[in-house]
Amino acid sequence: MAQRRSTPQALKKALGWFAARYIALVRDTSKVIRVPEDMDRRIDELAPAIFTTWHGQFLMSATMKPAHQPAKMMIARHGDAEVIAQAVRHFDIELIRGAGAAGRRKDRGGATAFRSALGSLQDGVNVAMTADVPPGPARKAGTGVVALASASGRPIIPMGFATRHTIAFRSWSRFTLNLPFSKFAMVMGDPLRVPEDADDEELEASRRDLEQRVNAVTRRAYALAGGSAHLAEPVSAANPERPGLALKTYRLLTRVARPAAGSLLRRRVARGKEIGERLGERFGRPGRTRPPGRLWWFHAASVGETNAILPLMHALRERYPDIRFVLTTFTVTSARIASNRLPEGAVHQFAPLDSPQFVRRFLDYWKPELAAFTESEIWPNLIMETHARGVPMVLVNARMSPRSFKRWRKQPGMSRPLFSRFDMVLAQDQTLARRFMKSGAHTVHTLGNLKADAPAPPVDEALQGELAAALAARPILLAASTHPGEDEIVTEAAERLRARIPDLLTVIVPRHPERGATILEMAKQRGVSAARRSRTPLPGADTELFIADTLGELGTWYAVSPLALIGGSLVPHGGQNPIEAVKLETGVITGPHHENFAQSFEALMKAGGCREVASAQDLADTVAELLADPQALEDMRASARAAAAELQGALERTLAALAPYAEDDAVRPTQRILPSGAVAAASGLASGEAAASEARADTRHAS
């Protein structure tokens, strides 16, 4: 066993020795250009100092160390970094092990490394560290390096390294392997001094300044070496991943399948899933006149995504009245909601089928300046064709289920080219942010869930009064937004409950109203007295199950129900939004499958504002317990309201993230360094900024 444990370490030492010999080979076989020529003298004058370069270009950084100057290099503690750690030791460089957490919920030794680096500088030892923080975004300087400069009072020296011949890997940082028998340039920039005891605003200004300086010396190094700076640029919307075989095959098949689109849509019309007179929109033909002037395109799949995006559109309309909107959706239900709730100057269209020809026709007419896709709407041709027009794309309120994540990870030739074409991905939480980055997204910010900021579903007060009169204080079990397979579980639970609560009324609101007839047939087969609202306006005294298969009335049902099971959670669907119920004072019950709203349910459960059930018996027992104890139910609802309030704020953060697109139409944010303060100042959760927060906190501790 001891021999097994020592073998990997011995291998890492051997690989480190080989890496050191390789770095020396590149240096010794290349024509070396040093700027300035008296670099060693300049280092002596500035020492001790903090030397920094981009993560992707750090390989040759060990060769710049003057023989007489002590130096330490900050290297992460994970296994892969051990090879680099072993290599730099051969250049008489000591190690500082640790890195910022970068949004991960684990200790990567960042605080310890910060203290060690600070102590080394105070002892007169130079410190080298990369400016950008894994896992990215690449070439976005973290705050840790400027916080170290502020705490130590020592200058930051930006460095650029490049060889004429290189191999750039498609990693997050575009790690560059410098090749021997080449021309090797190392460029040392002017020192950057950060004010001691700098506040957050001064640290941010210094961070942006550092970013520009490291970019400048890197570009100069490539120019002097005669290499291709573009080759080593990290993946971005301006430099996306190339399509793989899977994506190329999909695009070919959708072109070939175009003639079958008409037959497919006619069948959907017959099933009530399309509106016959608007089929042209599905072929990319306009159904409305394009509003004049600037136009942004928002795309949402169905009801949930539409409800999430509408408040954002209203807020944008109020803030930027010169911008008009076109909203595309897929479902008939979402189209009806949009028609009643769109902001002034906005129009609705059904999204074109994902065929290159249909998408091009849509884009030719609408000519949007920005495309904002919602949550998990990833249609390959929509994305590829929009990007090809130079239209910046943002994925808003982004989420990715574990199942989808596994699928995307298995198809990197599909996922990475698609996600890398987004200018920004605005994820709901850190877990989702990491999934998007691992799937190919390059700039990801964690802003929270827009649905927490959405207004409560509308309540029809007249209907609420009619229902109150018809119910005559009967106890209610509400099952909201149910999916196939759940109605039977709810009905079984209701049958068990009626043995204890004889006058119980069960109300099922199916996620898709067209399932009303199917649910009614199921109830009849079970011998349950049932009625559909689309046929019978109100439940009768003998109605045991009422199927609310009408559109836009869920809010009213929440208003008359003390508690509700949130659908999509008793079957592996992923759950629905619980915050809508909470905002209307309804107690929340969920099944075990609520991963699509994991952050919301986690917050509710942690606060005691939600109950989880796994079966019909669990549901019956929980409902009986809560209906029998009004105080426990009220405590649960109060806890849920407090937890929901803590989740809010995503709307303002999203507005801040989109502001550069609205305020500066001359420069795309992908073509410049996007000021992180626009997002991070609002949220403090931007991906890659957790290391900066850790460093700032440690600065105060160390001081």
Instruction: Enumerate the H helices of 137-236 as residue ranges.
Output: 143-152, 200-225
Write out pLDDT tens, residues 126-158.
999 999 887 777 888 988 999 999 999 999 999
- Note the pTM of the prediction, 2 decimals: 0.76
List pLDDT tens digits, range 559-573: 999 999 999 999 999
Give yes or no for residue 685 having a pLDDT over 80: no
Residue 702's pLDDT is: 32
pLDDT band at 365 (very low <50, low <70, confident <90, very high): very high
For the CA atoms of 576, 580, 581, 582, the dihedral, rounded to the nearest 10 degrees, stands at: 120
Backbone angles phi, psi at 353, to 5 degrees: -60, 150
> Minimal CA–CA distance to 608: which of 569, 636, 568, 571?
636
Q: Are 643 and 446 in contact (CB under 8 A)?
A: no
- Higher-scoring residue by pLDDT: 234, 464: 464
SS3 127: strand
Position 562 scores a pLDDT of: 94
For 484-512, how does the pLDDT look when each residue is reduced to its tens digit (9 = 90+)?
Answer: 999 999 999 999 999 999 999 999 999 98
In which band, very low, low, confident or very high, does the pLDDT at 679 lie, cut at 50, 70 and 90?
Answer: very low
In this prediction, residue 235 carries a pLDDT of 81
Query: Euclidean distance between the first and final Cα of the chain, in Å?
Result: 45
Residue 109 above 70 pLDDT?
A: no
Q: Is the pLDDT of residue 620 over 90?
A: yes
Beta bridge mates, 75: 97
Mean pLDDT of 606-632: 96
Q: Which residues contact 424 (CB under 8 A, 6 or more apart)?
A: 394, 395, 443, 444, 445, 657, 669, 674
Alpha-carbon gap, residue 27 to 20, rounded angstroms: 11
Other residues' Cβ atoms within 10 Å of the Cβ of residue 287: 15
pLDDT for residue 668? 45
Question: E strands of 624-689, at which residues?
Answer: none
Q: For the domain with range 2-225, which CATH number is right: 3.40.718.10, 3.40.50.10860, 3.40.50.2300, 3.40.1130.10?
A: 3.40.1130.10
Tell me how far apart the alpha carbons of residues 297 and 440 are, in angstroms, rounded to a whole number. 23
What pLDDT, on a 0 to 100 scale, did the predictor assign at position 338?
87
In 3D space, the residue among 583, 565, 564, 567 whose CA is nearest the CA of residue 575 turns out to be 567
Neighbours of 267 (CB within 10 A): 11
Which residues share a beta bridge with 588? 564
Q: Is the pLDDT of residue 531 over 70?
A: yes
DSSP string across 352-397: PPS-HHHHHHHHHHH--SEEEEETT---HHHHHHHHHTT--EEEEE
pLDDT at 55 exceeding the cut of 60: yes
Q: What is the pLDDT of residue 678?
A: 34
Report the greatest alpha carbon distance in the chain: 95
Structure tokens at 69: 């100057």
The alpha carbon torsion through 622, 625, 629, 630 (nearest 10 deg) reads 30
Q: What is the C-alpha separation between 15 and 8, in angstroms, rounded?
A: 10
Give the C-alpha separation, 696 to 703, whole Å.
11
Q: Distance between CA atoms of 102 and 246, rounded to whole angstroms?
A: 31
**505-510 sheet: strands from edge to edge:** 530-532, 545-547, 505-510, 476-482, 563-566, 587-590, 611-612
Name the one residue in this structure whose structure tokens are 């799937």: 439
The per-residue pLDDT for 80 is 66
Question: In the CATH hierarchy, which fold is given to the domain comprising 245-453?
Answer: Rossmann fold (3.40.50)
Confidence of residue 279 (pLDDT cuts 50, 70, 90): very high
State residue 106's pLDDT score. 55
Name which of 370, 377, 374, 372 is nearest 428 in CA terms.
Answer: 374
pLDDT for the residue numbered 677: 35
Structure tokens, 291: 């509003």
As to burial, measured by CB atoms within 10 angstroms (0-12 exposed, 13-18 middle, 19+ buried), residue 221 is: buried
Q: Where are the alpha helices (DSSP H) in 226-379?
A: 245-256, 261-270, 279-282, 303-319, 332-341, 356-366
Summarize the chain as % helix, strand, coil (round to 5). Answer: 50, 15, 35
* pLDDT average, residue stretch 300-327: 93
Q: Do domains 245-453 and 466-646 have the same CATH topology?
A: yes
pLDDT the model gives residue 700: 34
pLDDT at 100: 57
Burial of residue 364 (CB within 10 Å: 0-12, 13-18, 19+) is exposed
Euclidean distance between CA atoms 23 and 177, whole angstroms:
10
Instruction: Compute the distance between CA of residue 20 and CA of residue 13 in angstroms, rounded to an integer.
Output: 10
Q: Residue 138's pLDDT is what?
A: 83
Characterize the bridge pairing of strands 126-130 and 176-178: unpaired
- 22: Cα within 13 Å, side-chain hemisphere: 15
pLDDT of 665 over the 70 cut = no
Instruction: Answer yes or no: are the C-beta atoms of 547 and 508 closer than 8 Å.
Output: yes
What would the two tokens of residue 302 be?
A: 């169905």
Nearest alpha-carbon partner for 441 in 427, 456, 455, 461: 427
Kindly report, residue by residue over 174-206, the tens digit of the pLDDT: 889 999 999 999 999 999 999 998 999 999 999
CA contacts within 13 A on the Cβ side of 622: 22
Of 667 and 87, which is predicted with more confidence?
Answer: 87
Residue 328 sits at φ, ψ, to 5 deg, of -110, 140
Domain ranges of the chain: 2-225, 245-453, 466-646
CATH number of 466-646: 3.40.50.2000
Residue 371 and residue 394 in contact, taking contact as beta carbons nearer than 8 Å: yes
**pLDDT the model gives residue 228:** 86
* Number of CB atoms found within 10 A of residue 472's CB: 9
Query: What span, in angstroms and rounded, lies between the C-alpha atoms of 125 and 537?
Result: 81
Find tokens 């809508």 and name the residue. 580
Q: Which of 621, 394, 595 has the alpha carbon at shortest distance from 501?
A: 621
Evaluated on CA atoms 361, 366, 372, 373, the torsion sign reads negative
Read off the pLDDT of each residue in 518-526 and give the average, rounded to a whole number.
96
DSSP, collapsed to helix, strand or coil, labels residue 601 as: helix
Question: Which of 466, 452, 453 lies closest to 559 in space, CA to CA?
Answer: 466
Question: What's residue 265's pLDDT?
Answer: 93
Q: What is the CA radius of gyration of the chain?
A: 29
Given this model, what pLDDT does residue 190 score? 96
Among 74-83, 217-226, 490-499, whose mean pLDDT is lowest? 74-83
Instruction: Give the residue numbers marked as catalytic.
Output: 305
User: Residue 683 above 50 pLDDT?
Assistant: no
- Chain mean pLDDT for the chain: 88
Among the listed residues 200, 136, 207, 657, the one whose alpha carbon sits nearest the alpha carbon of residue 447: 657
Predicted pLDDT of residue 108: 59
